[in-house]
């Protein structure tokens, strides 16, 4: 089997990608502060922000393809530590694209819907990025820098994701379930819209992207929904009253990073390539059935 290198193996998305890819690839994963063991995959510990270490790891493995999911993906952390997070989110991504260029292998990058300012959704791949926070800026710089050093890089813009957290990653869904069941009552925005997908669907989309030609692909879900509406669906599936959720607006909760109001993605391009995530409620029913047992 050919070798696939997945960065961010200990993260939410990387863990899903590795499990999805193992059927068809000899998978190598990179993690850093959370060493994980994934049966059937080879996991290495490397700081990708240190170029000599990244290069050595890459040359030791000599992968046939790369899916790059490692990042500091919390916008508030990026806002508070722009230099440190830029080294990972932007510079390391560009270095990795350079290594893929030298090896002439497919390179898939995980970007974000937060490259947009949220005032003109739904966004297609032809819309111009205009981020409102450091995290979005770092991803735009990575997209452009990776394209410069390796035009064959496939940029996948992902929406809010939910699902099984894997062995160590934090996940929005689990904290929401805990808050709905044990309190404190969750406060969710009625004026922040996304097109969420499950980690499994995202992993499937990234595998499609590995075979893709287009430079940019949006991997959004079928429904544009507010965080509050998403919470209501979770409450419905759990059998918890919707009144457990406190609705609020973005302006009611201060955070270091500014948040765009509506970054729903138009994903027709990916849909035409076979990316068809199920409705959110179906995904949740499947996931929460697993959670209950």
Tokens of residue 59, six digits: 């040359």
CB of 218 to ligand NAP, least distance (A): 11
Does 10 engage in binding with ligand NAP (CB under 6 A)? yes
Nearer to ligand NAP, 14 or 180 (CB): 14
Nearer to ligand NAP, 241 or 256 (CB): 256
Specify the stretch interacting with ligand NAP by CB under 6 A; choose among 4-12, 184-192, 204-212, 233-241: 4-12
> What does the alpha-carbon distance between residue 142 and residue 155 come to, in Å, rounded to a whole number?
10
> What does the alpha-carbon distance between residue 49 and residue 92 come to, in Å, rounded to a whole number?
5
- Preceding omega of 184 cis (within 30 degrees of 0): yes
Does 56 engage in binding with ligand NAP (CB under 6 A)? no
Under 8 Å CB-to-CB from 256, ≥6 apart: which residues?
75, 76, 79, 80
- Interface residue with ligand NAP among 21, 41, 71, 121 (CB under 6 A) is 71
Does 67 engage in binding with ligand NAP (CB under 6 A)? no
Got the DSSP string for 199-214? Answer: HHHHHHHHHHHHT--S
Does 73 engage in binding with ligand NAP (CB under 6 A)? yes
Segment 84 to 103, residues that bind ligand NAP, using CB under 6 A: 88
Got the DSSP string for 35-80? Answer: ----TTSEEEE--TTSHHHHHHHHHHH--SEEEE--S---HHHHHH
Does 223 engage in binding with ligand NAP (CB under 6 A)? no
Does 8 engage in binding with ligand NAP (CB under 6 A)? yes
Q: Which residues in this chain contact ligand NAP in the complex, by CB under 6 A?
A: 8-14, 30-34, 47-49, 69-73, 88, 110, 112, 158, 160-161, 169
């Amino acid at each position: 089997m050919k070798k696939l290198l997945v960065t961010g193996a200990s993260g939410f998305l990387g863990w899903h990608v590795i499990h999805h890819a193992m059927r068809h690839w000899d998978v190598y994963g990179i993690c850093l502060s959370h060493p994980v063991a994934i049966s059937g995959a080879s996991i290495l510990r490397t700081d990708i922000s240190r170029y000599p270490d990244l290069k050595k790891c890459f040359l030791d493995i000599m992968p046939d393809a790369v899916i790059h999911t490692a990042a500091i993906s919390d916008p508030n952390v990026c806002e508070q530590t722009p230099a440190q997070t830029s080294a990972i989110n932007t510079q390391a991504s560009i270095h990795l694209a350079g290594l893929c260029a030298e090896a002439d292998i497919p390179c898939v990058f995980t970007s974000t819907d937060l490259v947009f300012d949220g005032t003109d959704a739904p966004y297609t791949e032809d819309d111009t990025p205009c981020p409102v926070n450091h995290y979005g800026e770092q991803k735009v710089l990575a997209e452009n820098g990776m394209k410069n050093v390796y035009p064959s890089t496939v940029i996948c813009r992902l929406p809010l994701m939910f699902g099984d957290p894997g062995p160590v990653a934090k996940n929005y869904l689990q904290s929401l379930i805990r808050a709905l069941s044990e309190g404190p009552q969750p406060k969710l925005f009625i004026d922040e819209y996304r097109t969420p997908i499950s980690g499994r669907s995202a992993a499937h989309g990234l595998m499609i992207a590995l075979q893709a030609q287009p430079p940019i692909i949006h991997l959004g879900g079928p429904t544009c929904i507010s965080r509050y509406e998403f919470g209501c669906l979770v409450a419905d599936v759990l059998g918890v009253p919707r009144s457990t959720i406190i609705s609020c607006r973005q302006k009611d909760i201060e955070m270091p990073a500014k948040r765009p109001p509506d970054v729903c993605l138009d994903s027709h391009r990916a849909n035409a390539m076979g990316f068809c995530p199920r409705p959110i409620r179906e995904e949740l029913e499947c996931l929460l059935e697993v959670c209950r047992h």
